[in-house]
Structure 1
């Protein structure tokens, strides 16, 4: 009898890919990752997961590989832990008659400008926005909207290229960064200029058309939006829950979503909930772990069940609180050492301690999710207790980064390239 397989198009180097692999194995499936560069996903080798090299940007190559695998395996489903390939997954599922998302809806949602247009047409509360393709348009859009504004690529992930600008000098500086060759574009350069929605930050996880839960937290020190601390569930009144749920479900209707997972970010402003972003996927780690610890719902497993045509179970089996903190260095340089994970993990209530880096790693901050070098998760019956446990664990972790030499220091260190006159001895 052919082995049941789950095909994963690409992975995720920061933990979510591993969760999909492990969940597939628990469901009795054989996970197979198709990737242009599987070496970037270290968990594949560590877990002895089958990986096949294929150009995942080439739809015909993917079709050929999936067809070849169907001759050997009972392919139960195709999915991805990466938003960039989720529309491709939808097209493959449609071609091979497997359950999957609507690829057209995914493509519209992943284009932030198209997403804003659809949400605005449906009356969903969003920040004021403009689209720009050059520096002149960016500046005029910022003047029309009014400072401060957020500049972000129209297509992108992980807050790459996203920055808050409080002055027109900052607008010009970041525009030059985005359009001057430093930012890597996966599509023609287009910049979304957006009003900065001020207020507490929240995120919601949705499966199908059901709101699973709402968390809150911070996005780290501005002007960037690097992960900070998250807690789940958020403390909200019944009225606040009702208002938020109405807005969230309006997003699904406006964007044609409602199959599988959706992650939505929003802020509570003077207008109430204002949508910042809708993502047709699960939030990245450690968000799925928070939901499982607090509610007993394994979103990754339930997503895979949907992918392979099984019935999912979204009922809560527990009522706890969970909190997570990203570990983010405050400087660039070489990581000399990092430790304390064992001490932190031994603290009662600590659920997970994860490091993304190893000693002697060269570290350059980029102002996005790649600045995080790890995270800690804690859980308990109360929010106050979970936050206290989390703080104790974070305090147990230490690291040392040697800053890069300054230009003057570097000139003193590097070999001279031309003869230099002898110095007069210092006779002091």
Structure 2
């Protein structure tokens, strides 16, 4: 172990620490490496991650010099690259590259699931050259329009007519690239609007066997914005609803070819039954791993690394201090302007609190998961669910946005 290395592909969380805690040495691949990061890792390599040919060549060179046992990332945009490197280096435990593409690209996932007859959803693929009137025949409004390969609910539009779809397409095309500089897929997805409450399923697949760790209830703003404003874990579902969701996710992961991965699958419970929104080959974001660990004792992020070594839940040191339920709520800006809030606000219920902005700072109106203001986390107990506690705490937060034009 002292001389075994793990390649970390542009980590976005605490991947470096997770790997080092297990006793392995670290190779960091990132476009730009900060001064502090240089000293945090064993082999820092600045490299253009969007140039896959150069990255693969460099990784082969490293493999000829060092004993590389794993390639790891929880960065949504870099999971396919990590899978491709793993396959090139012929590592035993890896998410198959094709499966990584199925998860990263929503059109590929939808095609695979529909072909298998699993939770079928009507959809179309269009581009700027498409004849909208022809493409939209046989599919009813309202419709969701979104890029195939973006994330964070960015550029997702609910459209009620052809004109709104044209406008949505223009917005997506103008974006051109996602936040890591990758070109957006030329195919834009139009699919039926899945009406119903939303959930995410946190699970792990090892050697083709999927274990559902739990189901999270997701609170989302009404369209047209679709911003996630909170999560409750575990979701309070009827037994038959939970059974249907679990079966759908297990079947979907098998069809998509997922293996050796922690997954975060988003599902809507419609009047036709549960339907997949998207599958992510990584732990959920937005502090969902915090909620899961508080309730189950399972550290999803540690598990995400351990599965790249062929290990499962039984290899974890489970937290013995657990609670019945846990919730998070995000704070949003309802308009552009200067934000003000009570930095001294406290509640015995709050277990963690974080602001992404400073008091008095100019903020944009919250229009996606990327520009929220902060969050707080609450635990439930035997008498009260976290979801009921969190509502009372939220009333104590006084977040105001002063428009620059106001006196």
Q: Is the 8 A contact 1:150 1:196 kept in 2?
A: yes
For the residues of structure 2 that align with 1:97 and 1:354, how far apart are their CA atoms?
Answer: 41
1:26 aligns with 2:21: yes
Cα deviation for residue 130 of structure 1 reads: 0.8
Q: Is the 8 A contact 2:101 2:108 kept in 1?
A: no
When residues 188 and 252 of structure 1 are mapped into structure 2, their CA distance, relative to the original with a 3 A threshold, is: closer
1:195 aligns with 2:192: yes
1:77 aligns with 2:70: yes
Cα deviation for residue 72 of structure 1 reads: 7.6
When residues 343 and 330 of structure 1 are mapped into structure 2, their CA distance, relative to the original with a 3 A threshold, is: same
Matches within 5 A, 1:323-338: 323-335=327-339, 337-338=340-341
Q: What is residue 290 of structure 2 aligned with on the other side?
A: 289
When residues 79 and 262 of structure 1 are mapped into structure 2, their CA distance, relative to the original with a 3 A threshold, is: same
Q: What is residue 11 of structure 2 aligned with on the other side?
A: 11
Q: Is the 8 A contact 1:135 1:175 kept in 2?
A: no
1:378 aligns with 2:373: no
Cα deviation for residue 162 of structure 1 reads: 0.6
Q: Is the 8 A contact 2:292 2:298 kept in 1?
A: yes
1:204 aligns with 2:201: yes
1:94 aligns with 2:98: no
CA deviation map 1:2-45 (0-9, x unaligned): 45543221122xxxx13x33433432344443211345xxxx94
Cα deviation for residue 197 of structure 1 reads: 0.9
Q: Residue 107 of structure 2 aligns to a residue in which SS? A: helix
Whichever of the two has the greater Rg, that structure is 1
Cα deviation for residue 231 of structure 1 reads: 0.5
| 102, 105, 119: which one aligns with 2:99 | 105
When residues 238 and 182 of structure 1 are mapped into structure 2, their CA distance, relative to the original with a 3 A threshold, is: closer
Structure 1: gaps (5+ residues): 410-428
TM-score normalised per structure 1: 0.82
Q: What is residue 251 of structure 2 aligned with on the other side?
A: 250
When residues 182 and 87 of structure 1 are mapped into structure 2, their CA distance, relative to the original with a 3 A threshold, is: closer
Q: What is residue 420 of structure 1 aligned with on the other side?
A: none
CA deviation map 1:332-378 (0-9, x unaligned): 2344x5553x634xx33422212223356543347321122222111
For the residues of structure 2 that align with 1:371 and 1:153, how far apart are their CA atoms?
Answer: 19
| 140, 143, 146: which one aligns with 1:146 | 140
1:233 aligns with 2:224: no
TM-score normalised per structure 2: 0.85
Q: What is residue 364 of structure 2 aligned with on the other side?
A: 364
Q: What is residue 213 of structure 1 aligned with on the other side?
A: 214
Cα deviation for residue 404 of structure 1 reads: 4.7
Aligned residues: 393
For the residues of structure 1 that align with 2:31 and 2:358, how far apart are their CA atoms?
Answer: 24
Give RMSD over aligned pairs. 3.0
Matches within 5 A, 1:166-181: 166-179=160-173, 181=174
For the residues of structure 2 that align with 1:373 and 1:72, how far apart are their CA atoms?
Answer: 45
Cα deviation for residue 210 of structure 1 reads: 1.1
Cα deviation for residue 184 of structure 1 reads: 3.0
For the residues of structure 2 that align with 1:383 and 1:367, how far apart are their CA atoms?
Answer: 36
Deviates more, 1:57-66 or 1:94-103: 57-66
1:118 aligns with 2:125: no
For the residues of structure 1 that align with 2:360 and 2:69, how far apart are their CA atoms?
Answer: 42
Deviates more, 1:352-361 or 1:204-213: 352-361
Q: Residue 123 of structure 1 aligns to a residue in which SS? A: coil
Q: Is the 8 A contact 1:32 1:49 kept in 2?
A: no
When residues 140 and 339 of structure 1 are mapped into structure 2, their CA distance, relative to the original with a 3 A threshold, is: farther
CA deviation map 1:315-337 (0-9, x unaligned): 795452111111211112344x5
1:307 aligns with 2:308: yes
